[in-house]
Amino acid sequence: MQTLYKFALEPIAETTADPNSYGFRAKRCVQDAIEQCFTCLNKGKSPKWVLEGDIKGCFDNISHEWILNHIPMDKDILRKWLKSGYIETGKLFPTNLGSPQGSSISPTICNMVLDGLEVQIKKKYHKTKVNGKAYFPKVNFVRYADDFIVTGESKEILENGVLPIIREFLSKRGLELSEEKTVITHIEDGFDFLGSNIRWYKDKLLTKPSKKNYKAIVSKIREIIKKNPSMKQEDLIRKLNPVIRGWVNFQKYNVSSQAFERFDFDVWRCLWQWCKRRHPKKSHKWIAKKYFRQVGTRSWTFSVKTSDSFEFNLIYATNTKIVRWLKTKSEATPFDSRFAGYFEERDTERMFREIKGRRKLNALYKAQKGICPICGGAITVEEGYRIHEATGNDYKITRILVDAGCHRKLHYSKEVGEPALVIQGL
């Protein structure tokens, strides 16, 4: 039921949202928020000070009274959801504050609670004229869920002007800033935001994977390897590849070349220890020959031949190209028909970027005009895509490009496994 109400509430939330809010919104993501930070800070005349905002227990402390008075939906249903409480270790705990975490409608409600903060800041800090000259205090606002940053031309503007506005706005909603975690930073010192470190280096701004984010992914890889000392090599690769692929696809829009090289080395070091522990009496040369193969120009590829004679390889971060993210326009929303053409063009452009240099994919995508022949829907990066081989009545194999969901249905219906897809890099 919550999801049905969310579907009804979402168009209202989208059309009334802050332009530079990016969390839990249709057609927007983390990369949009990071790219907006880059846009605000990447020029020589850009602001040099950044306020990193942290709301103390955002989801847990939102005022129920404010939600009931301002969220446009059935009040009785909303009140029951807010007051329903939660069960832990067989006990019922009441909820007198906050929006229930984990429910499908909570992110939308949280966004609607925080929407309007950018407008309040812009009311005071916007382009104006002082003594006949144009003046802009360089105050920009970027928010992802309950994490946000505000830029300014000086520390004083952020400390004495912007912070009081934010505190007043939040207090009306039963929220407050965490004084320990809310800091004002100079751009040359850099700051971490959504897994990226944004910092000015001599003459340019760079966004790189943050140290905390890098340590977290390496720790996760190390934990998987250590917890599975006797696992088959093929199974270990299957366990590692989705984790590696997810992190690499997230960070490939940043300046990540050095981080990717270091990551591949750290993964190799963990795998080498795993191999040596399995064969303590074997020589290094024997271990290397058993577990690693030459694939292309890479001599040490962690690889194994599967039962159907395919070579199954570990994914390496340095094989992924670094690309620039194509940011969504701040004012665009998929619920406004004026932007329907814009989102279609953007999805197509992202698709062409994704398959650039891959001739088979390019040819199939153009021949099919970007349409999946199974479901008739558009093939997009978000939904994923696969090349599917079909055998006709004349026993000729034809290839078609289908979206990932249709491909899974086709293979499950025929009881065909997935290994070949991973090996082909699709």
Which region holds residue 231: left if phi is over 0, alpha if psi is between -120 and 50, else beta?
Answer: beta
Listed range (245-249, 289-293, 352-356) with the worst mean pLDDT: 352-356
**Residue-level pLDDT at 231:** 94
Sign of CA dihedral 407, 362, 379, 252: positive
What would the mean pLDDT of 177-195 be, rounded to a whole number? 94
C-alpha span between 58 and 176 (Å, rounded): 8
**Residue-level pLDDT at 426:** 36
C-alpha span between 2 and 12 (Å, rounded): 16
* Long-range contacts formed by 378-385: CB under 8 A, 24+ apart: 378/344, 378/347, 379/351, 379/403, 380/347, 380/350, 380/351, 381/347, 381/350, 381/351, 381/354, 382/347, 385/361, 385/426
**Residue-level pLDDT at 228:** 94
**102: pLDDT strictly greater than 80:** no
**Residue-level pLDDT at 418:** 41
**285: pLDDT strictly greater than 80:** yes
Sign of CA dihedral 17, 14, 248, 147: positive
C-alpha span between 300 and 356 (Å, rounded): 27
pTM as predicted = 0.83
Write the single-letter amino acid at 350: R
C-alpha span between 204 and 295 (Å, rounded): 36
Task: Calculate the alpha carbon distances from 356 to 85, 152, 323, 349 in Å.
Answer: 50, 38, 11, 10
Sign of CA dihedral 98, 104, 110, 113: negative
**412: pLDDT strictly greater than 70:** no
**208: pLDDT strictly greater than 60:** yes
Shortest CA distance to 383 belongs to which of 366, 364, 400, 403?
403
Write the single-letter amino acid at 247: W
**227: pLDDT strictly greater than 70:** yes
